[in-house]
Structure 1
Amino acid sequence: MSHPIVVIVICDGHRPDFVSEEMTPHMARLRKAGTWFAHHRGIFPSATRASSASIATGCWPISHGLRGNTVALPIENGHEVHDAGRPEFYETYRNHFGRLLTRPSLSLRTAPQHGAVLCSNVSPGAAFFHDAEGHGELYHRELSYSRGRVPLMPALVAPPGAVGDAVMTDKFISILMERPPSVATLWLSEPDKTMHAFPLGSPEHLMALRAVDTHVGAVAETVERLRDRGHEVLLLVGSDHGHESVTETVPVERRLYESGFKAALESPEIVVAAQGSSAFIHFGSDALSRRKEVADWLGQQSWAGRIIKGEDLAKLGQIPTADVLAVDMAKSQGSNCNGIPGLTAMAVRFAENEDAIRRDCGMHGGLGPHETQPTLIAVGNGFSAGNVVTTTSRIIDLAPTALHHLDLPLDGLDGVPLGGRASG
């Protein structure tokens, strides 16, 4: 029996200005065959783990609850910083809050139909929080499971990078052909992994793009085979965020300690949850009186850009709280060593030795024009060939677009379906 299907391919970190007939011929062909969203936007922070939750739920972080790539949780006398990408964070988060995400994912919403499958080659956290309650089917190097988080054996050997992306793509295509679900998502680690390690526009970056484009082409061919079988397939190809190039790496928490705001370098009263090219600074109750002084100090630092009080974060779709300052690292006009526009400073907690390693390489997490602009192409019913949409779309609109295609309810969403928008 044929049924409607949504196929989503996320090329992690892919910038839309790198879609071209020369570098990404398959994506360029899909751009002509479908609708190109020229003003697509991500969340704040423009980071993968919270973006994964936003794509899966169709909601901003303020609604689904996962703040960013790193998360500071309250402890006695302050906060403790956790990497949301690590596999153990899943249980840490659940134990702390007594729950996971506060909005339902596509996997839950499609469970009464043919369910959801995620083949993910990014961090465990990004994969786990895409289907937080285990209502779908996941394939990941750390854990593969069927509905209900029932482990699947043997483990899938798919390291992050080109080799693992190829393994995941093959697995994804085999599932689509053998037992197509209602929603199938392939999340590739490239070009993001290479962009973090090499300058944007480098031969390594361009090679990673070509490999990713080959995977997109293979999935697009599979979609055509599904259509030949009578399935009505909507294909969404895009990314979760873009990238800027690093100008300098700043150990923000170390600088706070050196400026006298902290009693000890790793004491918990003021901590920094770095998000790449932004950071959340968390204040324990005894240190909250220093928040204004820290904000004034940040305003004097060349590496600090926009400074946002925690209570104002709701305007950015982020969780508001009075014990936080958010800092978007300073953005610069100009280009990196390969002539790629978009420059940003990068935040870390303590490390002093990352500056030379990161220079000119890609980073994201802040509010820069390139890091907040992901890619999106839609091919299928309701999306005209060659159409260019210049009004704003957001990554929170992917889930509503999928649900609309599947004729499922659109309740509890921050985003809206994208089909039928006019160009202009």
Structure 2
Amino acid sequence: VGNKFFDPIASPGKLFNTGDETQLQLGDQRLGGNLVEVPVLGELLAEHGLSLATLSSGTPGGARMLNHKAESLGAFRFALHRPDASLPRETVLEMQKQLGPVPEHQIPSLDWLTYSTNAYLNFIEPELHPDVCILWFCEPDNSYHFRGLGSPENLEALHQADLEFGRILDWHRSRKKDQDLQIITLSDHGQLTVCGETINLKEGLEEAGLSVGEPPGNGVDVALTVDSAGGIYVRDSDPELIRFIVDWLQHQPWCGPVLTRTGEHSLKLEYAGLDHPRAPDIALVLKSDDSVNTHGIMGGCWNNSSFYPTGGGIHGGLHAMELKSWLAAGGDCFRSGHRSELSSGIIDILPTVLQVLKVPIPTHVQ
């Protein structure tokens, strides 16, 4: 999974970067409000008179996607990376008046965790009273990426995240019993350690005789969006060109699973849930293994991006350690002490929230 995809309408002239708040806003406008092709949580709640508030210390684009219809719904959406793009403006200004400005971003992002928790406890709950609130912590993800899994900075971030979550639990326990709150806590992925030298996929494809750039077409054979995993968009989705690239990839020492729509000499995109019109012509995962990093954490992989340092963390592939995540729920709607053996993930949160609130689950929800 990568954070970029090719959509010539949403992002003419370049790949569409879902981490960029401005690109998401413009892309949604160009697509007539259909960047996401089905109603999502904020819209489904609003249809039944319920409200969603979101606060994120993650990427600006990720913050927007948690509540991307906030403008039209009049909902609260706050991004620590982009207070200027947060909504509604009057509410945002009032919150910052009470809490102060967002602290300077650092790694580990300890102050951002505290600011996020303060915003939830001291403003969002008492002032906005949302029916659902999503509170997105940027740690331990930031320190995993840039300081390494199990590093002292990473452990400090984990400790701080636990402290801030503990503040929320202490507040919850202090409330009146008739004010029931359901809490779901989860991580969206695990991570691997970037091992060895960074490969240069662009250079390799160019040496194989292909032109690489953005977007594919008009003299550009392929567009790349690959870190430890991702995709290749091929000019005109040319079958012969796809076959050539698949064959070339499978002869590289760093190449892991390769997936295409047809599954010709590869796995099929549908096997990984990627069979979508915006999916790349070729999806690939770089090799990973069970090596142990300098801090004793298992799981390593190759990488195609210099953005993440060797020894840092990365995710997006198919190794068990990056697919495993944390999910727990508490409240009177959930069985106490129960552990489910069923496979589950972030995709299951939306229908769970809807069921708890007695909102009908649409047929498009898996």
**Quick check: TM above 0.5?**
yes
Tell me, in whole angstroms, the C-alpha distance in 2 between the residues paired with 1:293 and 1:301: 13
> Does the 8 Å CA contact 1:100/1:133 hold for their aligned counterparts?
no
State whether residues 70 and 273 of structure 1, in contact with CA within 8 Å, keep that contact through their aligned partners in structure 2: yes
- 2:79 pairs with 134, 140, 160, which one? 140
For structure 1, list consecutive stretches of 5 or more residues without a partner in the other structure: 1-44, 46-67, 416-424
Please tell me whether the aligned partners of residues 202 and 212 of structure 2 are also in contact (alpha carbons under 8 angstroms). no
Q: Tell me, what secondary structure is at the counterpart of 2:121?
A: helix
**TM-score normalized by structure 2?**
0.84
Render the CA deviation track for 1:386-417: whole Å, top value 9, x for unaligned: 222222012110111111111111113434xx
Query: For residue 218 of structure 1, what is the amino acid of its counterpart?
Result: R
| Greater relative CO, 1 or 2 (CA 8 Å, sep 6+) | 1
Q: Cα deviation per residue 1:294-318 (whole Å; 9 max; x = unaligned)?
A: 1011111121100000353233222
1:241 partnered with 2:189: yes
Q: In the alignment, is residue 347 of structure 1 matched against residue 304 of structure 2?
A: yes
- Match of residue 92, structure 2, among 145, 152, 159: 152
- Hey, what does 2:129 align to over in structure 1? 180
Q: Distance in 2 between matches of 1:243 and 1:314?
A: 23
Q: Does 1:329 align with 2:271?
A: no
Instruction: Give yes or no for contact 1:158–1:165 (8 Å, CA) kept in 2.
Output: no
Residues 199 and 337 in structure 1, CA contact (< 8 A), matched pair in contact too: no
Q: Is the aligned partner of 1:387 residue 2:338?
A: yes
Any runs of at least 4 consecutive aligned residues in structure 1 with deviations exceeding 6 A, and if so which? 263-267
Whole-angstrom distance in 1 between the partners of 2:282 and 2:171: 47
The 3 A distance-change label for structure 1 pair 394 and 125 is same
- The separation in 1 between residues aligned to 2:287 and 2:162, in whole angstroms, is 32
Cα–Cα, structure 1 residues 306 and 293, in superposed 2: closer, same or farther, change >3 Å? Answer: same
| Structure-1 residue corresponding to 2:8 | 74
**TM-score, normalised with respect to structure 1:** 0.73
Gaps of 5+ in 2: 263-267
- Separation in structure 1 between the aligned mates of residue 291 and residue 240 of structure 2, nearest angstrom: 38
Contact preservation (8 Å) 2:182, 2:329? yes
Contact 1:85–1:126 (CA<8 Å) still a contact in 2? yes
1:97 aligned residue: 31
State whether residues 177 and 222 of structure 1, in contact with CA within 8 Å, keep that contact through their aligned partners in structure 2.
Answer: no
What one-letter code is carried by the residue in structure 2 that aligns with 1:170? Answer: N
- How far off its partner does 1:319 sit? 3.9
Partner residue, 1:85: 19
- Deviation of the 1:368 alpha carbon: 1.2
**What pairs up with 1:13-412 in 2 under 5 angstroms?**
45=1, 68-74=2-8, 80-98=14-32, 99-111=34-46, 112-134=48-70, 135=73, 136-141=75-80, 142=82, 143-146=85-88, 152-153=92-93, 157-160=102-105, 161-174=109-122, 175-226=124-175, 228=176, 230-248=178-196, 249-262=198-211, 268-274=220-226, 276-285=227-236, 288-311=239-262, 312-321=268-277, 324-348=281-305, 358-412=309-363
Contact 1:304 1:329 in 2 (8 A): yes
- Is the CA contact (8 Å cut-off) linking 1:336 and 1:343 kept in structure 2? yes
* Aligned residue in 2 for 1:57: none
**SS of the residue aligned with 1:233?**
coil
SS of 1:407's equivalent in the other structure is coil
Check whether the contact 2:213–2:223 (CA below 8 A) recurs between aligned residues: no
- Aligned counterparts of 1:95 and 1:106: Cα–Cα separation in 2: 19
More displaced 10-residue stretch of structure 1: 244-253 or 392-401: 244-253
Amino acid at match of 2:92: L
Question: May I ask how many residue pairs the two structures share in their alignment?
Answer: 337
Structure 2 Cα separation of the partners of residues 128 and 304 of structure 1: 33
Q: 1:246–1:361: 8 Å Cα contact kept in structure 2?
A: yes
- Percentage of matched positions with identical amino acids: 25
